[in-house]
Structure 1
């Protein structure tokens, strides 16, 4: 098996714990489904949020998914680039898989589809 990265992003309407939890969970559940992920093959997950999001940790939503409480998770603040998309949560999942790069389904939801329109419409 090879280690592959699966990317994704989602936007929220407001900086609240509920909005961060709900959006992160939706992003992860979609990513898991589209890639038919087995949590036992996941090495780690990196989550970032834009600087305007600080009401809670997105890792809480990932840990709430059955089996994912044992996966190493790390949260960080996204680089504050002028004009960058606001209110955005990004994820990078490191997974051991036999899939090729072309078979990986990256997931972009909400306004985040504008970040990668080339892969957001893959499914």
Structure 2
């Protein structure tokens, strides 16, 4: 599990490999990632946007930016968590993802970024 805390917001990530899929004439490696966002701060926060950098072993990088996550812009109260699952497809059996969420403190209207730790996507465990 990969974890990081920014401004009292703890991000935890778990990944799974789902096998090979064919998208048109392209063979891809399918992965799921499970995100837990825990609010350890004293104020409620709302997740507004996501920014992802997705890398594969073939030197291809994909950038994803959009509103919320999985169609939602959740408000997370202090001591509460929000969980979601999403997927990505790589052209190689090894890659990585990382990024950040844009959030707003619902009490002070302060916008801030929460770092998502870079995590590995691999078909089999790889040791360095």
TM-score by length of 1: 0.34
Q: Which has the higher contact order (CA 8 A, sep 6+)?
A: 1
Q: Which is richer in strand? A: 2
TM-score by length of 2: 0.33
Q: Which is greater in Rg?
A: 2
Q: Which is richer in helix? A: 1
